[in-house]
Each structure stands twice: as C-alpha cells, then as structure tokens.
Homo-oligomer: A and B are copies of this chain.
Amino acid sequence: MLNDAQDTVRALMHASRLGVDSHGIRLTRYYCDMLTKGGVNKSPSRLFEQTAPSTGRLNADFGLAHSSSYQAMREAINLARVTGIGAVTVHHSTHFGAAGAYALEAAELGFVGLVFSNSDPAVALSGGSQPFHGTNPLAMAAPVQNAKPWLLDMSTSSIPFNRVKLNRSLDLPLPAEVALDSEGQPTQNALAARFLQPLGGLNYGYKGAALAGMVTILAGILAGADPDPLMASTDQAQKGEKRQNVGHMMIALNPAHFVGQKNFESGLAVYLELLRASPTTSADKTLLAPGDKEWAEYEHRKKFGIPVDRDTELFLEIKY
C-alpha cells in the first residue's frame, strides 16, 4: 500500500506540475472514494508474467492503476533494453490518470514510450446516438538532446467531459462539433450536453472514432480487459457499486537499436528547431510542439506553486 500511495501521488503530481489540472490532485477525492467504497482494491495481489522475450502481462487485481502502470512501463523498458522493444499489457486495472506520466517514465530513461488505455463509454461513434468508446487516451514521449522530452498526451475526443462541466459552471456555450445531447444530436448547450463527439467533428469524426477503436484493441482487447461499451462507469466505480476492468498497453522502444541513441535525440532536436522556427499566421505567436506548453507551465509552477481549486482544497483540509 505504501508503493500505491507513492505512485498515485507521483502520477497526480506529474499532471499538476505540468498544468494538466483535470488529471492532477483534483482527482484525490475520486481515488479516495474508490478506495473507501471498494471501486478499487486496497490490497491488490498484482501479478506480472513475462510471456515472451519482449512481452508481458500484468494482472492489476483492481488495485490503484498508477502503481500498475508505472510497473508495466518499467517492465517494458527492461525488455526493450535487451530486445529493442518491449510491450506489456495491464488488465483488471482501474483509472490511471494522465497517460503521459508513464510515457514520460520511458523518455526520461532514454526510451520512446507509448501508452494507450481504454475507458468507459463517453464518446459517440461517428453517426452514433449513444456513447460507445471511452475518451481513450494515447500518449507518447521521446528524449530530446539537451531538452525536456517531446510529450504528447491526448484523448481521442476533441474535448474531455470535464470541459463540459466547466462550461456549465461558467454558463458558457461549448465549441461546435464537440458534444451531443441525450438524443445524440449536436449541441453547444453545456447543460444539454450528455456525451462527446470523437476528434474530427461531424465530417471527420470517423477518424477520431477509428483512433479510439485502435486504443480499445491495443489496450483493451489485446490485454483481456473489458471492451469500452461493456465497462462499468467511473461513477459506478466511485460509488463502489461496480469495478471496472480497464486495460492499458505500455510500449518502450530503444533508440539504440534503431538509428542510435545520439542520432535519435539530436535528430529530434533538429526537427523541433525547424518546427519552432516555422512561419505562423500571426506574428506574435510561435509554434509549439506537444509538451512545450506543459514544460513552460512546469517551470512557472516550480516558482509560483500549483493552484488548487476550492473543492479539492476543502477536501484535503477536512481529510488531512
């Protein structure tokens, strides 16, 4: 349980440090609820089994997903040290927070990390009138010469459902083509919005839905977890009514066995230099690579601290 607490705090602080507040310490209450009400297993017996020289499976036994996810990525890295690439799936897992935390674990050790997780239904198919896939994040991180890693962490919907909740409380409309009402009709009314459209909106949402399916197959079906449409909801898990069987996929690639470690890291630095020097449509803007905004926020928060929303502050004060 000590490791579980440490790893969960580490994953939440990853998100809070980088400005991803939706997946940061705001979630403390959610995980505490799951622990006290039984949505996650307080004393899991995790079991890692290596299945081949480059692959393994981790049965997370419904424990806090952060420990399981860090462990799975570390196993994938250790496999990739020897064989060039390692892939470890996790099954019977729960909500793992920010996917980028585990991808970054690989990049900080010099590897390219890829992370996928399926989740409970929240996003419609293109043309569907009900939620089918989860927001199914994919994350990737890669080491860059003399700089912080390239870091992508994105859901396969345009926005997270937390954005809907935020706009409700601010009495603001939603952007077009991101959410649907209870009938599956597009809506910009945050109060009427019930679930999300896949990335790509009305015309190209089939691509976002296909990416969500890719994640379901790699992280869910290949792992032996629940397919998204059959998964218990995060609400049910938070109330302890049902447990989710979430699946993750962690892949580590060893650049030393491709173009070479130094060539890779310097090649990535050159690419990023080109990207940031690229012409923009407005003179006062510079172009950003995935992670640039997050690493800038990281430096800012190192100096000025992490803002905590009132609800989370109250919860932490009462509890601890």
* Interfacial residues, chain A to chain B (CB-CB below 8 A): 51-55, 57, 82-87, 89, 91, 112, 125-130, 132, 140, 142, 150, 152, 154, 158, 175, 183-185, 199-201, 203-204, 206-208, 210-211, 213-214, 216-218, 220-224, 227, 229-230, 251, 253-255, 257-259, 263-264, 267-268, 270-271, 274-275, 278-282, 285, 287-290
A222 lies within 8 A of B271 (CB): no
Chain B residues whose CB sits within 8 angstroms of the CB of A267 once the complex forms: 221, 224, 227
Residues of B within 8 A of A175 (CB): 203
The answer to whether A83 touches B55 (Cβ under 8 A) is: yes
Residue of B130, B154, B253 near A87 (CB, 8 A) is B253
Cβ–Cβ < 8 Å partners of A184 in chain B:
279-281
Kindly state the separation between the CA atoms of A87 and B86 in the bound complex, as whole angstroms. Answer: 10
Q: Is the CB of B222 within 8 A of A258?
A: yes
Residue pairs across A and B with Cβ atoms less than 8 A apart, 7 shown, are A87-B253, A112-B217, A127-B287, A158-B203, A220-B271, A229-B278, A230-B274
Q: Given the known A-B contacts A217-B112, A258-B223, A280-B127, are A154 and B210 also in contact in the complex, defined by CB atoms under 8 Å?
A: yes
Contact B142 A217 (CB under 8 A): yes
* Chain B residues with CB under 8 A of A211: 211
* Shortest distance from the beta carbon of A19 to any chain B beta carbon, whole Å: 15
Question: Is A53 a contact partner of B217 (Cβ separation < 8 A)?
Answer: no
Select which of B54, B140, B257 is within 8 A of A85 by beta carbon.
Answer: B54
Query: Whole-angstrom distance between the alpha carbons of A282 and B185 in the complex?
Result: 11
Instruction: Tell me the smallest distance from the CB of A79 to a CB of chain B, in Å.
Output: 8
Who on chain B is nearest to A271 by CB?
A: B227
Q: How far is the CA of A220 from the CA of B91 in the complex (A)?
A: 32
B127 touches A204 (CB 8 A): no
Q: Across the interface, do B200 and A53 meet the contact criterion of CB distance under 8 Å?
A: no
> Is B53 within 8 A of A258, CB to CB?
no
- B112 and A278: CB pair below 8 A? no
The answer to whether A128 touches B85 (Cβ under 8 A) is: no
In the complex the two chains form, is A218's CB within 8 Å of B281's CB? no
A255→B222 contact, CB < 8 A: yes
Asked if A210 contacts B152 (CB within 8 A), the reply is yes
Given pairs A112-B217, A221-B267, 15 additional interface contacts (CB within 8 A): A53-B84, A83-B83, A84-B87, A89-B258, A127-B280, A127-B282, A128-B281, A129-B280, A129-B281, A130-B279, A150-B217, A199-B199, A206-B288, A213-B289, A227-B267
